[in-house]
Amino acid sequence: MTEYLAVDGGTIAYEVTGSGPLVVLAHGMGDHRAAYRAVIPRLVAAGYRVAAVDLRGCGESSTDWPDWSRTAIAGDLLAVIRHLGGPAVLVGHSISGGAATIAAAREPSLVTAVIELAPFTRKQSVGLGDLRSKRLRRGMTRLLGATVLGSVPLWRSYLDVAYPGVRPADFAERLDRVEAVLREPGRMKALQGMGRTTPADAGAQLAAVRCPVLVVMGTDDPDWADPHAEGSAIVEELPAGLGRLEMIEGAGHYPHDQYPDQVVSLTLSFLRTDAARA
């Protein structure tokens, strides 16, 4: 059942399932909380209370916001954690990976661990050598086209590239649902607003994080020429010993939707070991 939290600037929608320690799930841009539909029941079965959040402008959250930055998203996520009686483990995908970093650095008492899935957490640069990657070129042209032109078909085409190989059984229905939500008033504006932001605010906070961080990347993610190198760079900018990188072979930009069992297994192992020791 959808619940709503009023924060400065608008209303954030979320849904809570299960009981136990709190895990908060935040999706990427152009999406909604159903991105975690395969992950939620697995985490609940493992004994967690799971809150899946619609980012500002997305899903069932309100659409009229002055700021689409990771810093602003971090504030929303911290408000949800505070409202639900945190602390919490914070899971962020793509743009929300950067937001989770900022949230953990800003309020360490509210965030016990961070899991970043295919995160944009550092300032990005693309060199001529990177453009030799056909996978990167295919993803980048569709991603830029969707954000610059506000094109729903180009975003759908990007998702087709971002899910290489294995796809969930309901993939066609998932694309239809994403498209339907993006055609609602204000939703594409949110995607475009997030697409114009820079991860520099998140990168500036990496050294200030004090909790364990798990970074999960797919080997075939079309958003980077070398996903392993990007994940390693994030870990290296964290304080020594806090970060760990895991790669999922064959996954694209949505490892939690392509390989939910592997993502949940990595998550539970991380929470039993790294996060528990902290």
Domain boundary assignment for the chain: 3-277
Mean pLDDT within 253-273: 97
The model's confidence at residue 276, banded by pLDDT at 50, 70 and 90, is low
For 3-277, CATH gives 3.40.50.1820
CB atoms within 10 A of CB 2: 12
Q: What pLDDT was estimated at residue 128? A: 57
The model's confidence at residue 74, banded by pLDDT at 50, 70 and 90, is very high
Average pLDDT along the chain: 94
Q: What pLDDT was estimated at residue 27? A: 98
94 φ, ψ (degrees, to nearest 5): 55, -115
Q: What pLDDT was estimated at residue 145? A: 83
**Apex CA 59: angle with CA 204 and CA 37, to 5°?**
90
The model's confidence at residue 138, banded by pLDDT at 50, 70 and 90, is confident
Alpha carbon distances (Å) from 91 to 17, 22, 52, 111, 117: 15, 11, 10, 10, 8
Q: What pLDDT was estimated at residue 248? A: 98
Nearest alpha-carbon partner for 243 in 74, 76, 99, 104? 104
Nearest alpha-carbon partner for 181 in 69, 34, 25, 5? 34
Are the C-beta atoms of 72 and 94 separated by less than 8 Å?
Answer: no
Q: Percent of the chain, pLDDT > 70?
A: 94
- Taking only the tens place, the pLDDT of each residue in 118-127 is 999 998 766 6
- Taking only the tens place, the pLDDT of each residue in 141-180 is 787 888 888 999 999 999 999 999 999 999 999 999 999 9
